Amino acid sequence: NAGVTQTPKFRVLKTGQSMTLLCAQDMNHEYMYWYRQDPGMGLRLIHYSVGEGTTAKGEVPDGYNVSRLKKQNFLLGLESAAPSQTSVYFCASSMIPNTEAFFGQGTRLTVV
Amino acid sequence: RKEVEQDPGPFNVPEGATVAFNCTYSNSASQSFFWYRQDCRKEPKLLMSVYSSGNEDGRFTAQLNRASQYISLLIRDSKLSDSATYLCVVITGGGNKLTFGTGTQLKVEL
């Protein structure tokens, strides 16, 4: 019962470094999302995908890129990390619109 | 104005108390509504969906008021294990976009 799996769970980056966060789901869900969660801000949508090969911008997309080459995977990339990107990142997936979203366990990223 | 607004709390209540949270949303075209629960340093998990007719799941009751654009969550007979942050979620944009409130923190005490 893996559900939604995020890797890595923790990471410390230096300013200017790049990294990719991987989200994998084994529920055959069409929809996948990347959120960031900051104190007092709640969860904010970065990018989302409504199916393999499609991506769209969310509320706070600047500084991030995404790809959905395979239905089960949704990658979030930071090309040049900045301290403002220090956050907890959550991936989620859902089968169809207007239904329950299942979340991964989160990635705690610190940019120094 | 934020799309989804919640009182951040914290709400500190004694065990056995009844507590209610409200959440307001700004987009009248919003389609679906949910309450999620998030424990400290964990991922959000679905608590319950919110239907126009209202719905109940054990000690939890959710209500939707489309005219006033708010949803509510009532917890009866609070347990220590109910301590968590409760997130209001509204779906818009044809179902593609889940918008979260900032969450309301509940602390149930002995």
Q: What is the pLDDT along chain B (110 residues), one digit of tens a residue?
A: 788 999 888 999 999 999 999 999 999 988 889 999 999 989 999 999 998 888 999 999 999 999 999 999 999 999 999 999 999 999 876 667 788 999 999 999 99
Closest CA to A30 of A76, A70, A60, A89: A70
DSSP 8-class letter at A26: S
pLDDT of residue B11: 94
DSSP 8-class letter at A41: T
Structure tokens belonging to residue B45? 């998990």
List, for residues A52-74, the tens digit of each pLDDT value.
Answer: 999 999 999 999 999 999 999 99
Sign of CA dihedral A102, B81, B106, B70: positive
Give dist(CA B37, CA B33) in Å, integer: 14
pLDDT of residue A28: 95
pLDDT of residue B54: 87
pLDDT of residue A1: 63
φ, ψ (nearest 5 deg) of residue B82: -80, -10
pLDDT of residue B104: 95
SS (H, E, C) B3-52: CEEECCCCEEEECCCCEEEEEEECCCCCCEEEEEEECCCCCCEEEEEECC
pLDDT above 90: residue A99: no
Please tell me whether residue A85 adopts helix, strand or coil conformation: helix
Q: Which residues of A touch B (CB under 8 A)?
A: 31, 33, 35, 40-45, 48, 50, 56, 58, 90, 92, 96-101, 103-106
Give dist(CA A13, CA A19) in Å, integer: 8
Q: Which residues of B touch A (CB under 8 A)?
A: 8, 31-32, 34, 41-46, 49, 87, 91, 94-103
- Which residues of chain B neighbour A92 with C-beta distances below 8 Å? 98
